[in-house]
Amino acid sequence: MQASWIRCVVAVGLTVTALKTAAPASGTPGTQRAIRAYLGPPRTAPAADETFRLPVYVRDGGEDLVSYALQVRYDPAVLEIVAIDGGTFGGFSERPVTEPATFRRGRTRFAAVNRGVRRTHRTTNVANIVFRVVGGSGTNTQIRLQKGNSTPIVVNPDFEGRPLKTRQPVVVTIR
């Protein structure tokens, strides 16, 4: 039997490692479908000193999302994070675990666990990032969503890790 280690982030900020035992490999190994994560665009172009929200979505590929660990990158001369709130989906409605000290550094990690391991929809709003504009009119930044650790997405109640793909960054220009 072949064993592989899978990491799962727990909502209290600890990292739990679970051992998943797989059947012996025979023939061609199966392929894992990548899970997609992306940021929704802002409703309007923000002005200096304004706050705005970007929703974080995960497309689960038909598998139930158990947890995620992501990071967001942005230009700290243009934006700072005010808060990272939970999403509209009930299992991820609580605030994700994050480190507020990083909100002005240009890179912030955040993670959450699906409370009750509720079945997710194909596209699930897992979080909402609230930004404040600190740059002046005409400045812009790319906001990139990336994996937050080596196993950024865990799916189905067997806690299987999946690769993560992200879309192009959201570009925000200050009006």
Pair 37, 145: CB distance under 8 Å: yes
Per-residue pLDDT tens digits for 89-110: 999 999 999 999 999 999 999 9
Domain assignment present for 16? no
The number of folded domains in the chain is 1
Domain assignment present for 122? yes
Domain assignment present for 4? no
Domain assignment present for 121? yes
Beta bridge partners of 74: none
Range of the domain at 168: 34-173
Residues with Cβ within 8 Å of residue 143, at least 6 apart in sequence: 39, 54, 72, 73, 74, 79, 131, 169, 170, 171, 172
- Tokens 């990139």 identify what position? 144
Please report, for the domain that includes residue 88, its CATH number: 2.60.40.680
Query: What pLDDT score was predicted for residue 14?
Result: 27
Give φ, ψ of 77 to 5 degrees.
-80, -15
pLDDT tier at 31, thresholds 50, 70, 90: low
Distance CA 95, CA 84 (A): 7
> At 172, which helix (H) or strand (E)?
strand 170-173
Pair 56, 117: CB distance under 8 Å: no
Query: What pLDDT score was predicted for residue 156?
Result: 78
Residue that wins the pLDDT comparison between 19 and 43: 43
Query: What pLDDT score was predicted for residue 58?
Result: 94
Domain assignment present for 3? no
Distance CA 92, CA 152 (A): 15
**Average pLDDT over all residues of the chain:** 82
Closest by CA position to 61, among listed 155, 159, 172 = 155
Domain assignment present for 120? yes
Domain assignment present for 140? yes
Per-residue pLDDT tens digits for 46-97: 999 999 999 999 998 888 899 999 999 999 999 999 999 999 999 999 999 9
Domain assignment present for 29? no
Residue-by-residue DSSP string for 19-80: EEEEPPP-SSPPPPPPEEEEEPPPSSPPPTT-EEEEEEEEE-TTS-EEEEEEEEE--TTTEE
Q: What is the mean pLDDT of residues 127-150?
A: 95
pLDDT tops 60 at residue 10: no
Query: What pLDDT score was predicted for residue 18?
Result: 26
